[in-house]
């Protein structure tokens, strides 16, 4: 064998779950089969495919969109608001019930 040549294929060196990503065409340590397309995809390309870029429905800036068409900042702002409001209403209900019992 000539010096500098690799022995064995990349598949055996990388491990059992190793393979070639059908999107970026790189040999990766772990690839998974996409449920919809059936293609072998690495984690990086799978995450990239899920990212949607568009204008946020709340602030109208062009950003990566989260649930319900909002950017992360607007989504998190509403989540915090709903959480705070929920705890206030729970406390108010508790006080009303305590007052009714007394």
Q: What is the pLDDT of residues 44-87, one digit of tens each?
A: 888 777 788 889 999 999 988 887 888 989 989 988 998 888 76
Q: Cα–Cα distance between 18 and 29 in angstroms, integer?
A: 5
Task: Please report whether residue 47 resides in a domain.
Answer: yes
Q: How many domains does the chain have?
A: 1
31 belongs to a structural domain: yes
pTM: 0.41
C-alpha dist (Å) from residue 28 to 68, 71, 81: 33, 31, 42
Q: Residue ranges of the alpha helices (H) in the chain? A: 10-14, 43-50, 72-101
The answer to the question of residue 79 being in a domain is yes
At residue 6, does pLDDT exceed 60? Answer: no
């Amino acid at each position: 064998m000539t010096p500098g040549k690799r022995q064995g294929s990349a598949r055996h060196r990388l491990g059992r779950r190793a393979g070639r990503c059908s999107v970026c065409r790189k040999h990766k340590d772990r690839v998974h089969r996409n449920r919809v397309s059936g293609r072998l995809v690495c984690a990086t390309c799978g995450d990239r495919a899920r990212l949607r870029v568009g204008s946020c429905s709340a602030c109208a800036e062009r950003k990566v969109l989260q649930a319900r068409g909002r950017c992360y900042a607007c989504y998190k702002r509403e989540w915090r608001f709903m959480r705070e409001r929920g705890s206030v209403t729970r406390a108010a209900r508790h006080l009303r019930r305590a007052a009714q019992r007394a």
